[in-house]
Structure 1
Amino acid sequence: MADEPIRVTVWGEGRHEKRDANVAALYPEGMHETIAAGIAEYAARPVVVRCTTLDSVDQGLPPSLLESTDVLTWWGHMAHDEVSDDLVDRVQAAVLAGMGLVVLHSGHWSKIFKRLMGTSCALRWRNGDDRELVWTVDPTHPVAAGVPSPIVIDRQEMYGEFFDIPAPDELVFVSSFSGGEVFRSGCAWRRGRGRVFYFSPGDQDYPVYHHPDVRRVIANAAVYVAGGAARDVTPIAYAPVGWYA
């Protein structure tokens, strides 16, 4: 129902803030809390936002929480390999059943994103204190609503092509960097009954998740991926109809 709050779960590793004083200074409550606050502030529909981290029970996503999640956001960087394959299986099943997924920045290298994309999801990168311009290439897309073009991010890690992903169903943003690189920075896909959106701006070494336009994009993305098909966990039954010779 459109008038019911979207149940958003913000998942993060929660590691950098504990180990790096510079990251802790930028995100004293954790990147996940900053991302959650931006969604709550900018979402165009009512939302209920919860945070969880890798070091919580069941790696932050026990079945009961996943089952009550309409949209999951995912930020990971230093502990991708620690995420269990069982959890990846459950998140994948939830997306295929209709849960929305927003993958952020270095989450491109997460097990769940690579599983859903079916490719390496590798890219070029340089942590060189670049300026990033995020250009809207589909101004009619809901994720671009209210967002200036370009978004100007004064200090950011560079992500560049080639980005080994399947061709997006919808390409919303393309970024350019002060070093001359370009990157498909806002991409959408359908997987089963669910929607997936990837948005690249946001690194632990820079205050990008405090940027109001970045926060608006993530909030828009959460609302957008929540608008997929109604959640349905019923297995699809296939009846044999014969063989092709």
Structure 2
Amino acid sequence: MTIRVTVWNENVHERKEPDVADRYPEGIHGAVADALNADKYNVRTATLQQPDHGLPESVLNQTDVLVWWSHCANDEVDDDVADRVVKRVHDGMGFIPLHSGKNSKPFKRLMGTTCRIKYRHGGETERIWVSDPGHQIADGLDEYFEIPSTEMYGEPFDIPEPDRTVFISWFEGGEVFRSGVCYRRGRGSIFAFRPGHEEYPIFYQKEVRKVIRNAVDWAAPKEGATVRWGEVDSINQLEEQ
């Protein structure tokens, strides 16, 4: 089955910062889309600058999994677009916020919390441990992998208790972080993945790209049962009252 993926990126750092543009000449969305270059994925990209931020209903209705990268422009996303994404997740679309996508309007609305963290710049080593080795998102990984230089995220992470925690990170400065967490909202599956700061070439790293592919496979909609919402007739005959 072909999985229809939309990779969304605010596309701000690449347009304003030459070093980020040099690192990601096709944009962060281009690097993430390139990780999904197998035949089983049908990938399109969308950015903040497009009409409807590239996410009109016609696009979202043709999206099985939405991969979302954002950072400095989270507040610039229109509320109507954020609500549109949330509704599609409840209807069954998978949602994968990367890095500071944890602060995106759709993710915060789906979580119902502030999603606040500790953080520190400086290029520390991150060691990402697989805490749920039987999970599909961990397929093909060793028990840990390292990102040589990255921004630190630290606990506490103000999110609801995850359904599953697939990865836990340790940082050179001593902090730890739940760096790969899973949720269900309505019929939709959500996987928030921590790595991806724009100052480093993280989205070219083979383990990170494998996690993204595994997460897309896991988050793709499952058929499930047919459900009727709202007022319904009784299945059995009821006595008149």
TM-score bracket, normalised by the shorter chain, equals over 0.9
| TM-score scaled by length of structure 2 | 0.93
Aligned to 1:237: 230
Q: What is the distance in 2 between the residues matched to 1:123 and 1:238?
A: 42
Structure 1 unaligned regions, length at least 5:
240-245
Aligned to 1:5: 2
Aligned to 1:24: 21
2:166 is aligned with 1:169:
no
Partner of residue 193 from structure 2, selected from 181, 199, 208: 199
8 Å Cα contact 2:69-2:97 kept in structure 1: yes
Q: What is the distance in 2 between the residues matched to 1:80 and 1:99?
A: 21
8 Å Cα contact 2:21-2:27 kept in structure 1: yes
Q: What is the distance in 2 between the residues matched to 1:52 and 1:135?
A: 31
2:34 is aligned with 1:37:
yes
Question: Cα offset for 1:228?
Answer: 3.6
Aligned to 1:242: none
Q: What is the distance in 2 between the residues matched to 1:96 and 1:227?
A: 11
8 Å Cα contact 2:92-2:221 kept in structure 1: no
Q: Residues 235 and 80 (structure 1 numbering): CA distance in 2 closer, same or farther, change over 3 Å? A: farther
Partner deviation per Cα, 1:75-104 (whole Å, 9 max, x = no partner): 111111110110111111100000000010
8 Å Cα contact 1:96-1:191 kept in structure 2: yes
Structure 2 unaligned regions, length at least 5:
233-241
Partner deviation per Cα, 1:121-170 (whole Å, 9 max, x = no partner): 00000011100001001111000001122111000000110000001001
8 Å Cα contact 2:93-2:221 kept in structure 1: no
Kindly provide the amino acid, as one letter, of the partner of residue 174 in structure 1.
I
User: Matched residues, percent identical?
Assistant: 48
Greater relative contact order (CA < 8 Å, ≥ 6 in sequence): 1
Q: What is the distance in 2 between the residues matched to 1:105 and 1:60?
A: 20
4+ residue segments displaced more than 2 Å: 227-232
* Larger-Rg structure: 2
Query: How many matched pairs?
Result: 234
Question: Cα offset for 1:107?
Answer: 0.4
Q: Residues 139 and 114 (structure 1 numbering): CA distance in 2 closer, same or farther, change over 3 Å? A: same
